[in-house]
Amino acid sequence: MLTLEIADTVAVSKTVGESDVYLFAGITGDFSPNHVNEEFMRNTFYGRRIAHGALVVGLMSSASSLFAAKFTRMNADQLPVSLGYDRIRFIAPVFIGDTLTVAYKIALLDEGRQRSTADILVTNQAAKTVTVAQHILKWVTPADEKPVGVAF
């Protein structure tokens, strides 16, 4: 039995720094001028560098982990496992120096499959939506074992 309810929510905030963008570029190998070349970006529609979309997805993962930890403590016999992110849309650019807030809110519960689906809304310091997505968690018990040939 899931201990979650529709509308259960957590939120995390972080200011995206220049070091975040450069470290992320180094980890992923994505050195696109969009992210690392201020002079190039000055002459574009955006006028300055933008953060990697995947970096924002990483912040979504942080919110998911915070949510999972909160509800795992409430019911220690359930362990959440991410099944993935769906419907990710980058609505507006994220610039270096933007402070993002990721709101993670349960939208659907599937008791039979032990899954929860959350709506994710990422806004900047001006309360402008920059990214949206959905996230699916599978809640398993330590005794659960995945039988061979059976999909999650």
Per-residue pLDDT tens for 85-98? 999 999 999 999 99
Share of the chain above pLDDT 70, in %: 89
Closest CA to 81 of 149, 2, 145, 138: 138
- The full DSSP string for 43-63 is TSSS-S-B--HHHHHHHHHHH
Asked whether residue 142 carries a pLDDT value surpassing 80, the answer given is no
* Closest-CA residue to 93 (of 129, 61, 62): 129
**pLDDT at res. 5:** 86
Phi, psi (rounded to 5 degrees) for 132: -135, 155
Give the count of domains, the chain.
Answer: 1
The CATH number of the domain holding residue 80 is 3.10.129.10
Domain membership of residue 74 as a residue range:
9-16+52-140
What pTM does this model have? Answer: 0.88
> Residue 58: inside a domain, yes or no?
yes
Q: Tell me the pLDDT tens digit for each residue of 49-100.
A: 999 999 999 999 999 999 888 877 666 677 889 999 999 999 999 999 999 9
**Does a structural domain hold residue 32?**
no
Cβ burial, residue 1 (10 Å; 0-12/13-18/19+): exposed
Q: Is residue 152 part of a domain?
A: no
Lowest pLDDT segment from 13-17, 93-97, 140-144: 140-144
Confirm whether 115 is domain-assigned. yes
Structural domain includes residue 136: yes
Strand partners, 106: 118
